[in-house]
Amino acid sequence: MDTSQVDRFIGQKWDDEIVPQLVEYIRIPNKSPMFDADWVAHGFMDDAVKLMEAWASKQPIPGMQLEVVRLEGRTPLIFIDIPASSGGRSDDCVLLYGHLDKQPEMTGWDADLGPWKPVIKGDRLYGRGGADDGYALFGSLAAVMALQEQQIPHARCVVLIEACEESGSYDLPAYVDHLADRIGKPSLVVCLDSGCGNYDQLWCTTSLRGLAGGNLTVKVLDEGVHSGDASGIVPSSFRLLRQLLSRIEDENTGRILLDGLHADIPAERLAQAKEAARVLDTAVYDKFPFLPGMTPMADDLTELVLNRTWRPALSVTGADGLPALSSAGNVLRPHTAVKLSLRLPPTLDGKRAGQLLKETLLRDPPNGAQVSMELEKASTGWNAPAMSPWLEKAINASSEEFFGAPAMYMGEGGTIPFMGMLGEKFPGAQFMITGVLGPHSNAHGPNEFLHIPMGKRVTACVSRVIAEHHQASLRGETTGVAAVAGGEHHGDHGCC
């Protein structure tokens, strides 16, 4: 492989085609179904699919078959089948994964930016979805085309781009089952929906946290009443809700109190967390927009990495029953509701954790209040099996060649439900989970951006790894070997 030629080809492809396509993609408000119940009627998801379908179908990839698969009542899925090339093996397969649905708008964007307003500033493309995860389809095909331009052998490649990842990928298992014969049994899975600790090297994801959460509601009255008349007699729904949350979380430290929501951290992951903390230093926390005087939850950098990747953590991401400050009268409100997002250790069973969360919150309601917990998500995380030697060598070589620095390995705090599902369906597959969501890229939040040079380099690294996969396949090192690599929702992760 002429790596300089790969670098030039992919750089030009990004500049001439991929960035302009992502600019148009960002304009489309194709929010994931969880955030747009009328997504079918609005048609934005179809608009995003058509944009990607139109570009992909024009690419000069011999024998490529592209289909938008639509199962009744489900979000669409883009399926691309690329034949082996230049002597690559047709009986082996590389599966490349991404998604095209987006998180909702979120407030707090800078005055000149917006979720559906693409803006390029220097090396950054601002707007919702470019990095999470619109670039995945474009990067996947560009990586393959860079090989074919030099007639470098590669195995058959399959690209799956789903449309409900940000809602928990609930449609994806049905599609994987529906397409099982056409997918085959991949020996390498490449996921372009993760993050990076910095933009200076390739980052490989070794684990993903699970997620349990939903809507907790506490009701005390049929209607609001005068707070001067009722306070001191009628318990505040907000105070009772605080009591319930204290069953789950220590409000002073943030530590999750239920032993059943913790898991042992493997020695290898402890060592990787320590090395990541050493390389990142204070970037572990100063990538976040802390207010002046704010401090992180611990002083030890390794502990912060582990908090983010292997320990449970609770966030309240929404509320109901609370009027805006401008219209809040002296009323003791009838109810308070919050949306809970509980991140889980990678090896913890998501369904069991969700049930434990629900049982703990509903047990013995204080003052006889009406307490309900609508569980929306209960997803198990993912912990990578041991990496095979060929893949470790290929990933490190690609990082040195295209970044000039060694690859790094770290868990991510977000959830990619697809990974756990694939790990079960293809226990012999190896995984390369990587991504472009790095410091300040702020996936899911305001001012989200794609770091364009990172996108180019990650694409080049994927191209190199696909080429090395062919060589490993010829040596019999891929089929039936359990191994993994990878690289951040985002954040959340990435991911959802």
In a domain, 298, yes or no: no
Does a structural domain hold residue 292? no
Task: Write out the residue range of the structural domain in which residue 469 sits.
Answer: 3-208+382-494
Q: What is the pLDDT of residues 437-446, one digit of tens each?
A: 999 999 999 9
Q: How deeply is 227 buried, as exposed, middle or buried, from its count of CB atoms within 10 A (0-12, 13-18, 19+)?
A: middle
pLDDT at residue 425, as a whole number: 82
- The pLDDT tens digits of the residues spanning 221-265 come to 999 999 999 999 999 999 999 999 999 999 999 999 999 999 999
| Residue 27 placed within a domain | yes
Confidence band of 479 (pLDDT split at 50, 70, 90): low
What is the three-state SS of 143-177?
HHHHHHHCCCCECEEEEEEECCHHHCCCCHHHHHH
| 101 within some domain | yes
Q: Which residues contact 474 (CB under 8 A, 6 or more apart)?
A: 89
Rounded Cα gap, residues 56 and 73, in angstroms: 25
Look at residues 353, 379, 405 and tell me which one is the last residue of a structural domain: 379
Look at residues 354, 379, 404 and tell me which one is the last residue of a structural domain: 379
Output the six-digit token pair for 70: 């639509």
| 203 contacts 485 by C-beta, under 8 angstroms | no
Q: What pLDDT score does 426 carry?
A: 82
DSSP-assigned letters across all residues of 314-364: EEEEEEES---GGG--SEE-SEEEEEEEEEE-TTS-HHHHHHHHHHHHHSS
Q: Same domain for 50 and 164?
A: yes
Domain CATH number, residue 244: 3.30.70.360
Confidence check: pLDDT of 133 > 80: yes
**Rounded Cα–Cα distance for residues 482 and 100 (Å):** 28
Looking at the domain assignment, is residue 61 inside a domain?
A: yes
Q: What is the domain count for the chain?
A: 2
For residue range 185-198, list pLDDT tens digits in order: 999 999 999 999 99
Where helices occur in 15-131 by DSSP H, the ranges are: 19-26, 39-42, 44-57
